Amino acid sequence: MSLPAAILKQAIAAGKDIYCEKPVATGLAEALDLYRAAKKAGIRHGVVQDKLWLPGLLKLKMLRDAGFFGRILSLRGEFGYWVFEGDWQAAQRPSWNYRKEDGGGIILDMLCHWRYVLDNLFGEVKSVSCLGATHIPERWDEAGRKYRASADDAAYATFELEGGVIAHINSSWDVRVRRDDLVTFQVDGTHGSAVAGLQRCFSQARVNTPKPVWNPDVPQSIDFFGTWQEVPSNVAYDNAFKAEWELFIRHLYEGTPFKWNLLEGAKGVQLVDCALKSWAERRWVDVPKLEA
């Protein structure tokens, strides 16, 4: 059993309500075991799914709820930045992230996030095709010691969602940023599109969509970035972690509903398992529904 799961098991056995980070475990069987133990113990439980309360994603949700997109066709996500190897410049992530034996790997780290983002905003994940990579094979740890990177540091994943939406998300610690933010999501629909980062969101309606013509022999005359309009911040957005934590506290003391529990956390681990299987077997893998 992984260390986080072992600690959670101890808390559940002691009858403690729990609120924890993701991933809740390193495998689906372990994650479901935690959920069932918590259910049997009658304790209340929550899992951090902070991206849902980021201003950029809340603006995407607002556009979706307002019908701005029409029928959503696809989503493209780009996450990541260059994490220095640690030799001539200190790395900005801990070295264990790059050691599989220590629970590292970008698939385990990030696909748990992408599961709840996709499920809650665009449609439940039905299947996945994932290719992982360890692009940087050697790194240097916090003490300046060279070590072999045994975990994946990039993942290229395509998801089929309920309703026919196709999502593709690249996750990499080996990419240099030339986009609006460290993570961006572009949603394309029949009536409009939007691109959101952590804080800001830009939209383009059907009636305002430019009409480019392919001609590689002349300079591009359209300022494509200039044809998008920023979605205003008409409300005050709180810290994403704080927003979810307050909902969990209200759940504990006021009995309000709270859906982001250990079963939702297990769904993230399930997608990791399916993505790793897809990578190993080089094929699409179905993601079965997890029932309470």
Give pLDDT tens digits for 180-229: 999 999 999 999 999 999 999 999 999 999 999 999 999 999 999 999 99
Given a cut of 90, is residue 292 above it in pLDDT?
A: no
* Three-point CA angle 30, 118, 127, nearest 5°: 65
Given a cut of 50, is residue 1 above it in pLDDT?
A: no
- Locate the domains of the chain by residue range: 3-49+241-273, 51-238
Identical fold, 3-49+241-273 and 51-238? no
| DSSP H or E run through 264 | helix 262-281
CA 261 – CA 24 distance, rounded (Å) = 10
CA 132 – CA 107 distance, rounded (Å) = 7
Give pLDDT tens digits for 69-83: 999 999 999 999 999
CATH no., domain 3-49+241-273: 3.40.50.720
Considering only CA atoms, which of 169, 86, 154 is closest in space to residue 122?
Answer: 169
DSSP state of 144: S
CA 292 – CA 285 distance, rounded (Å) = 22
Q: How is domain 51-238 classified at the architecture level of CATH?
A: 2-Layer Sandwich (3.30)
Given a cut of 80, is residue 4 above it in pLDDT?
A: no
Q: Which residues does residue 170 pair with via DSSP β-bridges, in sequence order? A: 78, 156
Classified as helix, coil or strand, 62 is helix
